[in-house]
Structure 1
């Protein structure tokens, strides 16, 4: 669960959330994505970015007002 103050949805906070999601995706799926890239020639960064955004929807956010 990620706790966020409702008034703290600044661009910096959004970038921080994206970075956390990117690290999480890289940790969980990095090896399998690299293998897929080697087999298909796809772009690694694009695949990581797509999974990063999908991963954000799996988080439970709690907004403190």
Structure 2
């Protein structure tokens, strides 16, 4: 069995997984992030990006070889 983390993947795969993670975070926590960004005068897209990166390390990556 091969264990890889996000850093070991090529840039195209990283971008695709980050996009999927952003969609996941936005669907689950989008409203909460918007409220936080408005309350603290923060950038919503930056918060979304940070949360998406944190979310990636909760995934289990499975590859067919």
Q: In the alignment, which residue of structure 1 is the partner of 2:56?
A: 56
Unaligned runs of 5+ in 2: 1-8
The structure whose residues are more often strand, as a share, is: 1
Q: Which has the higher contact order (CA 8 A, sep 6+)?
A: 1
Provide the alpha-carbon RMSD of the alignment.
1.3
Length, aligned pairs only? 57
| TM-score (structure 2 length as normaliser) | 0.77
SS at match of 2:52: helix
Unaligned runs of 5+ in 1: 1-8
Q: In the alignment, which residue of structure 2 is the partner of 1:4?
A: none
| TM-score (structure 1 length as normaliser) | 0.77
SS at match of 1:63: coil
